[in-house]
């Protein structure tokens, strides 16, 4: 049982789907070589192989499961040919994707427009005559507040203007920030603004649908030379070492907390529970999370925070208390 950096389920699934065909093509590969190939530790690879060992095609019978053997330090995989084959779109899937791309095209610009056009061209070539069906479909999407934010950010990037944000973070903290925008990126089906945050004095990612208000300032928005674009997969959530470290334990039913909130470390226990360490600039969101989850989350450290959560919960419960109705003595008439 050891602490490890938190990894999203999406990232792990992506690695597993890539790992299976590679291992099938490199039967008997040394386990350390395989770990280096995927940029993970020996322990992570061991955990991945243990998971693959209980995966397979529907049926859940022994012959339906992937065969994995790595006890002697070399990895052998079998009964996984279905996963090793390249995935191909059906005509219906390709047409659906093309319609979706055509719906995105009007709102795309710059590199995004180039990416949409390139994908459409490849799909049209691959589908031939059938692809013409997609060109006859018109999709009208409602223009929500997020599209207005994207447009404002794109203009600010183009004109090198600083922007002012009122931002709701994943920790339910609302802050005002001045940001020199660098670029817009997508991650896990969400748009993010990457920019130099003057409040944090560092590069930060802001999820566009959490921007409550935005204004372009009449100030130069050129990021400083130190503001280098980062890999959004590893920088979507950044906490500062100056923030308060909070250690909490969660029951198996609340394991999702480690994936939803940016965790500094996660320790899995045999009973399915987890010990999670996060850093918080404001402890208010931790309190609200603990009250929402009730007995499924317990704050271990700092002790003062756990005591405050319990005391404030008791105060709230007393506010809801209803005095018991008085019962008159036997034989006495009720009013």
Domains and CATH numbers, the chain: 9-84 (1.10.10), 91-135 (no CATH), 162-233 (no CATH), 244-319 (3.30.70)
User: Is 54 a residue whose pLDDT tops 80?
Assistant: no
> What is the rounded (10 degree) CA torsion for 330, 332, 333, 335?
-100
- Lay out the sheet containing 29-30: strands in order across: 29-30, 74-78, 67-69
Three-class secondary structure of residue 19 per DSSP: helix
The closest alpha carbon to 234, from 200, 185, 165, belongs to 185
- Model confidence over 114-162: pLDDT tens digits? 787 888 888 878 777 666 666 666 666 555 556 688 889 988 998 999 9
User: Is 180 a residue whose pLDDT tops 90?
Assistant: yes
Sole residue written with tokens 């427009």? 113
Average pLDDT value for residue range 204-229: 87
Q: What does the alpha-carbon distance between residue 115 and residue 295 come to, in Å, rounded to a whole number?
A: 48
The pLDDT-based confidence of 2 (bands split at 50, 70, 90) is very low
Instruction: Retrieve residue 188's tokens.
Output: 């896990």
- Strands (E) located in 135-273: 161-168, 174-187, 190-197, 202-207, 211-220, 244-250, 265-268
Residue with more model confidence, 211 or 1: 211
Alpha helices in 236-302 (DSSP H): 257-260, 284-293
């Amino acid at each position: 049982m050891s602490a490890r950096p938190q990894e999203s389920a999406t990232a792990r699934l992506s690695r597993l789907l890539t790992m299976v065909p590679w291992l099938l093509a490199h039967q008997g590969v040394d386990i350390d070589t395989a770990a280096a190939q995927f940029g993970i530790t020996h322990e992570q690879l061991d955990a991945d192989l243990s998971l693959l060992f209980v995966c397979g095609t529907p049926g859940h019978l022994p012959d339906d499961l992937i065969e994995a053997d790595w006890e002697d330090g070399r990895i052998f995989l079998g009964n996984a040919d279905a996963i090793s084959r390249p995935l191909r779109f059906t005509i219906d899937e390709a047409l659906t994707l093309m319609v979706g791309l055509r719906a995105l095209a009007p709102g795309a610009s710059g590199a995004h427009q180039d990416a949409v056009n390139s994908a459409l061209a490849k799909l049209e070539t691959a589908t031939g005559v059938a692809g013409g069906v997609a060109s006859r479909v018109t999709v009208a999407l409602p223009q929500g507040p997020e599209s207005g934010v994207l447009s404002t950010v794109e203009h600010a990037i183009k004109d090198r203007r600083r922007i002012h944000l009122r931002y709701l973070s994943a920790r339910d903290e609302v802050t005002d920030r001045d940001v020199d925008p660098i670029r817009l990126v997508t991650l896990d089906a969400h748009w993010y603004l990457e920019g130099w945050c003057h409040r944090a004095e560092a590069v930060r990612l802001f999820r566009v649908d959490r921007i409550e208000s935005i204004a372009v300032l009449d100030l130069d928005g050129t990021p400083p030379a130190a503001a280098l674009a980062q890999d959004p997969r590893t920088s979507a959530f950044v906490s500062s070492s100056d923030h308060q470290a909070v250690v909490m334990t969660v029951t198996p039913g609340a394991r999702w907390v480690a994936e939803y909130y940016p965790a500094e470390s996660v320790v899995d226990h045999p009973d399915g529970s987890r010990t999670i360490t996060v850093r918080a600039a404001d402890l208010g969101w931790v309190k609200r999370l603990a009250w929402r989850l009730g007995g499924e989350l317990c704050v271990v450290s700092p002790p003062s925070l756990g005591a405050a959560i319990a005391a404030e919960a008791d105060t709230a419960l007393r506010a809801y208390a209803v005095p018991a109705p008085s019962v008159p003595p036997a034989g006495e008439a009720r009013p």
